[in-house]
Amino acid sequence: MSKDTHVDVPHNTVGATGESGRVEAEGARAGESSGGAMAVLRTSAGRNLGLVVALVVICVVGTVTAGERFADVDNVLTILKLASVIGVVSIGMTFVITGGGIDLSVGAIVALSSVWCTTLATQTMAEDTHWIVMVLAALAVGAGCGLVNGVLIAYGNIVSFIATLAMLASARGLAELMSDRKTQIVRIESFKDFFGAEVLGIPVLVIIFAVVAAAGWVLLNRTTFGRRTLAVGGNPEAARLAGINVKQHTVMLYVLVGVCCGIAAIMLISRTTTGSSTHGNLYELDAIAAVVIGGTLLSGGRGTIVGTVFGVLIFTTLGNVFTLNNQDTSTQAVAKGLIIVVAVLLQQRLASRSNTA
């Protein structure tokens, strides 16, 4: 990713646009303002630097407190595998939030996709043909739920918060009905073999996350779709009057996050070898938290995939360090909450400065 240094460089010499929504003037203002740490943090390279520092600090704490058990290749791979599933969901969430919306239903869509893709019927069909059927089923369910969300929001004029809250309730309910609240075991060995494999020592799940993140970065920063997402999230009325089909674009954003949920469902099925209506519980909160501490504006118009990846890694690594130190999940939850508050307070200060400047 790019390296806009945020000094006031002559406009025509920069080749890089770097992360989206970021502009040179921001850096110029940062230079003018009081200086010091805040000024550095106001630049997006600086913001990412803050995330790197946070991650490094957590790693150092992990190494000091848990020693070998933390700084171990297997443990690092475990962290990455855990991060992968929520990571893919968070990439999708980054788009929706950048586009000015929110999706509370991601966890429920993951659950429904995982159940649908592991029903007896789907698995039988997969047995007769190929395991790819299961993948397609999960993706289709995810996309379908996203389509419903998007249409309700864009054409039904329902606030995204409400529409996806309704989807949260009904998708998980539907998952419970379909599975009869029973855990569905995956019988297809070829499916488990494929997704459980490693390539050059790297788990396939981690590779999938890397590919999704890279594709997400390109999509947000290098395509018309990404540019329109920033426009729609930054100022929907201006986007509409500039000739962008805002409604259609909104639908596409929710389909996109739905597909990400489908991918995440497959990854989760492979990690647990089960499909269940309890899968993906509270993913919406984890994903939103990762996106927000990564630096994407909750109000839309500015998004960063790199930040989101760091956000996911920070939370997952933190959880791992707590677990290795035998701290219960309650303590983890408290720490998570504190991190979110600090990150958002910081973000607000940055945002208010850029507004008054």
Partner 1 sequence: MTTHESLLRMSGIVKEFPGVKALGGVDLDVRAGEVHCLLGQNGAGKSTLIKILSASYQPDAGVIHWDGVETSLPTPISAIKVGISTIYQELDLVPGLTVAENVFLGHEQSVAGFSQRSQSNQMVRDLMTRLGHSEISPTRLVGSLSPAGQQIVSMARALSHDTRLLILDEPSAVLDHEEVDNLFRVIRGLTAEGVAVVYISHRLEEIRQIGDRITVLKDGITVATGLEVADTSTATLIQLMTGRSIEYVFPPRPEVAPERGPVVLEAKGLSLAGVFETMDLTVHAGEIVGLTGLVGAGRSEILETVYGARRATTGTVTVDGTRIRKGSVPAAVRAGIGLAPEERKSQGLLLDQAVYRNVTISSLGRFARGGFLDSAAERRRAEELTTSLDVRPTGVTRAVRTLSGGNQQKVVLARWLLRDCRVLLLDEPTRGVDVGARSEIYQLIRSLADAGVAVVVVSSEVEEVLGLSDRVVVVREGAVVHEAPATDLDEARVLDLVMEGRVA
What is the secondary structure of 76-143 as a DSSP string? HHHHHHHHHHHHHHHHHHHHHHHTT---TTHHHHHHHHHHHHTSHHHHHHHHHS-THHHHHHHHHHHH
Closest CB to partner 1 among 201 and 243?
243
- For residue 305, the minimal CB distance to partner 1 (Å) is 16
> At its nearest, how many Å lie between partner 1 and the CB of residue 10?
7
How large is the angle between the packed helices 73-98 and 305-324, nearest 10 degrees?
A: 140
Rounded to whole angstroms, the Cα distance separating 245 from 136 reads 29
Contact 312, 54 (CB under 8 A): no
Shortest Å distance, C-beta 107 to partner 1? 30
Would residue 64 be called left, alpha or beta, if left means φ above 0 and alpha means ψ between -120 and 50 degrees? alpha
Distance CA 114, CA 262 (A): 8
Closer to partner 1 at the Cβ: 107 or 216?
Answer: 216
Please name which of 253, 256, 266 lies closest in space to residue 113, comparing C-alpha atoms.
266
Nearer to partner 1, 325 or 354 (CB): 354
The C-alpha atoms of residue 278 and residue 319 are separated, in whole angstroms, by 20
| Chain residues in the site for partner 1 (CB under 8 A) | 10-12, 14-15, 17, 21, 23-26, 218, 222-225, 227-228, 230-231, 234-235, 237-245, 301-302, 354
Which residues face 202 on adjacent strands?
199
Question: Whole-number minimum distance, CB 307 to partner 1, in Å?
Answer: 16
Nearest to partner 1 of 10, 201 (CB atom)? 10
Query: Smallest gap, in angstroms, from Cβ of residue 349 to partner 1?
Result: 16
Q: Is the CB of 129 or the CB of 224 nearer to partner 1?
A: 224
Query: What angle in degrees, to the nearest 10, is found between the helix axes of 132-154 and 106-117?
Result: 150
- 170 DSSP β-pair partners: none
| Minimum separation from the CB atom of position 259 to partner 1 (A) | 16
Q: Which amino acid is at 294?
A: G
For partner 1, give the closer residue by CB, 3 or 11: 11
Pick the closer one to partner 1 by CB: 249 or 279.
249
Can you tell me which residue has the tokens 């492979």?
270
Phi-psi category of residue 125: left, alpha or beta, with phi > 0 → left and psi -120 to 50 → alpha: alpha
Q: How far is the CB of 99 from partner 1 (least distance, A)?
A: 13
> Whole-number minimum distance, CB 357 to partner 1, in Å?
8
Nearer to partner 1, 50 or 301 (CB): 301
Q: How far is the CB of 17 from partner 1 (least distance, A)?
A: 5
Q: What is the DSSP string of 138-163?
A: HHHHHHHHHHHHHHHHHTS---HHHH
Considering beta carbons, is residue 15 or 36 the nearer one to partner 1? Answer: 15
Calpha distance 75→80 (Å, rounded): 9
